[in-house]
């Protein structure tokens, strides 16, 4: 029997931001693998089974999901946001490459979603309106020296930076250090956006300058966007400011 | 009367990838501003009016939309993909900053969508599975020297690169030059994905190496993804290969 595995992105957490394609993939599956809080968002039928695992167990979760698919089940691996951005799609691909040849013969589908930086940017204005990058600040899977090199390279080249995984209990100092590095490269007036739970009931969007930015303003559910030297803030009386990066650029300073 | 303007991302062009939030925003509006082919995708009611304009007229379109909103209309500005990624959100913000103070008092909402690189990546595997960037290859609004510096910086730093606006009739040589620059920095075996119309009926996804990549493989509707030195290809008998960037990295070469 040839099984099937679909990796689904449910978007930032607001049901109105989950695509019909994702809903259809969820309706078609019978076994659901994912981080518990992401699985909690699904409304499953009695014939649909959830296999929750911890945040840090991506590779073992991917292997368990592939094994279930290889046994003939219709399996859904659930990510928040987009599954291809610091999420489960890469872990499943890794498991396929390392696993038995039969896993390469499974029907594999990946359903994209709205990733956190897009939802946060939409709430703030258009901070990703020109060239930008997405960097994970987690040094669990890469050396901190690489992260530091990348921050200097992209800030120096004039790209807006979206930071994923900015902080956690196990990684308390990295975000503060990242701000310190960026203050060496960028104007201290550069806008910084802390976007937490964008689109959800507990949404919180804060706009500060790089001079003011503090690591304590972020938690695990936050995406941090740091402007380029050309990113601008439009003040609006009685309303939240708009942050945007102009389409035209004169180049890095 | 206080008007309202909503900038909506309809996703890559497959209706199943348009969010319920986008559909609701479209249903609520009465005037639609956008590039003709994007407006053509909407199923409008008889009380909903379309004001189509050319691809290159983003700022004048933004101003016309703001003017209509300021006159009390419920206005929708339509982008394909996500409106914050090389699309209309930045143009509207620019127009607000340059325009009359009353435009800052309009209700402004931005509805995110699945941007092209996410849809293309989902079809290919997980090429954006680790740090990545999005760069517009259009030199209409920035000097080519800046684009060249950015390509060298991000490739040298080990980021995967998604190229938007890779080629057009008016910009025929830039993509070939970009490949030549990247061949100076990256291994020639680096995977390159040409993703055209991902998720639509006329979808075409091609995976080649950087050595083989040719500008003629792209058109205006193509998003080109160039791997990092760590991006891998999994061959599958009788199926399309999987391209992915591992979650762990040893750092740039």
Cβ–Cβ below 8 Å for A20 and B21: no
**pLDDT tens-digit series, residues B177-221:** 999 999 999 999 999 999 998 888 889 999 999 999 999 999 999
Q: For residue B187, is it left (φ>0), alpha (ψ between -120 and 50) or beta?
A: beta
**pLDDT tens-digit series, residues B35-79:** 999 999 999 999 999 999 987 799 999 999 999 999 999 999 999
CA distance A3 to chain B (A): 15
Cβ–Cβ below 8 Å for A89 and B154: no
Question: What does residue A131 show for φ and ψ, rounded to 5 degrees?
Answer: -55, 135
Of B15, B112, B159, nearest to A122 by CB-CB distance is B112
**pLDDT tens-digit series, residues A83-98:** 999 999 999 999 999 9
Cβ–Cβ below 8 Å for A119 and B110: no
Q: What local confidence, expressed as pLDDT, does residue B186 receive? A: 98
Q: What local confidence, expressed as pLDDT, does residue A2 receive? A: 66
Question: Which residue of A104, A126, A223 to mutate against B (max B Cβ within 10 Å)?
Answer: A126
Q: What local confidence, expressed as pLDDT, does residue B28 receive? A: 97
Closest to B91 measured CA to CA, from A155, A242, A210, A208: A242
Closest to B161 measured CA to CA, from B211, B218, B117, B114: B117
3-state secondary structure of B41: coil
Q: What local confidence, expressed as pLDDT, does residue B2 receive? A: 66
Q: What local confidence, expressed as pLDDT, does residue B3 receive? A: 84
**pLDDT tens-digit series, residues A110-130:** 999 999 999 999 999 999 999
Residues of A in contact with B66 (CB under 8 A): none
Q: d(Cα A134, Cα A147) in Å, to the nearest integer?
A: 12
Residues of B in contact with A149 (CB under 8 A): 157, 251-252
Q: d(Cα A124, Cα B101) in Å, to the nearest integer?
A: 19
Count of pairs with CB atoms under 8 A, one residue in A, one in B: 259
CA distance A100 to chain B (A): 12
Distances in Å between the Cα of A60 and the Cα atoms of A96, A97, A202, A211, B211 are 12, 14, 31, 41, 35
Q: What local confidence, expressed as pLDDT, does residue B110 receive? A: 98
Q: Is a pLDDT exceeding 50 seen at residue B252?
A: no
Cβ–Cβ below 8 Å for A157 and B149: yes
Which residues are within 8 A (CB) of A211 and not within 5 positions of it... i.e. 6 or more apart?
Answer: A183, A188, A189
- Count Cα neighbours of A204 within 13 Å in the Cβ-side half-sphere: 8
Of B16, B108, B130, nearest to A20 by CB-CB distance is B16
- Beta strands at A204-209 and A191-196: parallel, antiparallel or unpaired: antiparallel
- Beta strands at A132-136 and A191-196: parallel, antiparallel or unpaired: unpaired
Q: Is a pLDDT exceeding 90 seen at residue B249?
A: no
Of A16, A105, A141, nearest to B248 by CB-CB distance is A141
Q: What local confidence, expressed as pLDDT, does residue A253 receive? A: 35
Of B132, B146, B242, nearest to A133 by CB-CB distance is B132
Which one is predicted more confidently, B242 or B253? B242
CA distance B45 to chain A (A): 22
Handedness of CA A152, A157, A158, A162 (dihedral sign): negative
Distances in Å between the Cα of A27 and the Cα atoms of A4, A76, A114, B235 are 14, 10, 19, 30
Query: For A88, which residue in chain B has the nearest alpha carbon?
Result: B129
Residues of A in contact with B15 (CB under 8 A): 20
Q: What is the ipTM of this complex?
A: 0.97
Q: What local confidence, expressed as pLDDT, does residue A169 receive? A: 93
Which residues are within 8 A (CB) of B127 and not within 5 positions of it... i.e. 6 or more apart?
Answer: A84, B121, B160, B191, B193, B225, B227, B231, B243, B244, B245
Q: Is a pLDDT exceeding 80 seen at residue A26?
A: yes
Q: What local confidence, expressed as pLDDT, does residue A252 receive? A: 42
Distances in Å between the Cα of A26 and the Cα atoms of A7, A9, B173 are 10, 10, 44
Cβ–Cβ below 8 Å for A143 and B93: no
Q: Which residues on neighbouring strands pair with residue A110, listed in sequence order? A: A7
Closest to B220 measured CA to CA, from B113, B116, B142, B84: B116
Mean pLDDT throughout A125-136?
98
CA distance B93 to chain A (A): 7
- Tokens 């039969």 map to which residue? A102
Cβ–Cβ below 8 Å for A90 and B149: no
Q: Is a pLDDT exceeding 90 seen at residue A199?
A: no
Q: d(Cα B161, Cα B131) in Å, to the nearest integer?
A: 9
CB B39 within 8 A of CB B52: yes
Of A112, A145, A234, nearest to B17 by CB-CB distance is A112
Q: What is the rounded (10 degree) CA torsion for A143, A149, A153, A155?
A: 80
Q: What local confidence, expressed as pLDDT, does residue B201 receive? A: 86
Mean pLDDT throughout B78-90?
97
Among A183-187, A197-201, A233-237, whose mean pLDDT is lowest?
A: A197-201
Mean pLDDT throughout B112-127?
98
Q: Is a pLDDT exceeding 50 seen at residue A184?
A: yes
Q: Which two tokens stand for residue B161?
A: 């690169």
Query: For A147, which residue in chain B has the nearest alpha carbon?
Result: B251
Of A92, A111, A250, nearest to B122 by CB-CB distance is A111
Residues of B in contact with A244 (CB under 8 A): 89-90, 93-94, 97
Q: What is the mean pLDDT of chain B?
A: 95
Q: Is a pLDDT exceeding 90 seen at residue A78?
A: yes
Cβ–Cβ below 8 Å for B21 and A16: yes
Q: For residue B87, is it left (φ>0), alpha (ψ between -120 and 50) or beta?
A: beta
pLDDT confidence bin for B100, thresholds 50/70/90:
very high
Walk me through the domains of chain A, giving residue ranges and CATH numbers.
4-114 (3.40.1010.10), 117-244 (3.30.950.10)
Cβ–Cβ below 8 Å for A149 and B252: yes
Which one is predicted more confidently, B243 or B55? B243
Q: With helix as H, strand as E and coil as C, how does A139-163 read?
A: CCCCCHHHHHHHHHHHHHCCCEEEE
pLDDT confidence bin for A1, thresholds 50/70/90:
low
Cβ–Cβ below 8 Å for A112 and B119: yes
Q: What local confidence, expressed as pLDDT, does residue B1 receive? A: 52
Residues of B in contact with A92 (CB under 8 A): 126
Q: d(Cα A212, Cα A223) in Å, to the nearest integer?
A: 17
Q: d(Cα A32, Cα A12) in Å, to the nearest integer?
A: 18
Distances in Å between the Cα of A55 and the Cα atoms of A52, B65, B132, B221 are 10, 44, 22, 37
Q: Which residues on neighbouring strands pair with residue A233, listed in sequence order? A: A243
């Amino acid at each position: 029997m040839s099984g099937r595995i679909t990796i689904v992105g449910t978007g930032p957490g607001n049901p109105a931001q989950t695509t019909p394609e994702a809903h259809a993939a969820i309706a078609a599956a019978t076994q659901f693998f994912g981080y518990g809080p992401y699985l909690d968002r699904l409304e499953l039928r009695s014939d649909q089974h959830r296999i929750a695992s911890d945040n840090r167990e991506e590779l073992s979760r991917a292997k368990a999901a592939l094994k279930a698919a290889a046994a003939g089940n219709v399996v859904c691996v659930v990510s928040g946001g987009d599954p291809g951005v610091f999420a489960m799609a890469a872990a499943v691909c890794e498991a396929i490459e390392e696993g038995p040849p039969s896993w390469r013969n499974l029907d594999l589908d990946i359903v994209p979603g709205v990733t956190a930086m897009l939802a946060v940017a939409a709430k703030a204005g258009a901070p990703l309106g020109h060239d930008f990058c997405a960097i994970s600040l987690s040094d669990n899977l890469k050396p901190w020296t690489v992260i530091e090199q990348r921050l200097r390279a992209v800030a120096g080249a004039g790209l807006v930076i979206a930071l994923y995984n900015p902080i956690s209990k196990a990684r308390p100092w990295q975000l503060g250090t990242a701000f310190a590095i960026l203050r060496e490269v960028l104007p201290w007036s550069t806008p910084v956006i802390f976007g937490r739970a964008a689109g959800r009931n507990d949404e919180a969007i804060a706009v500060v300058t790089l001079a003011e930015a503090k690591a304590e303003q972020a938690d695990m559910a936050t995406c941090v966007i740091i402007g380029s030297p050309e990113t601008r803030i439009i003040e609006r009386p009685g309303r939240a400011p708009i942050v945007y990066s102009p389409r035209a650029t004169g180049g890095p300073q």
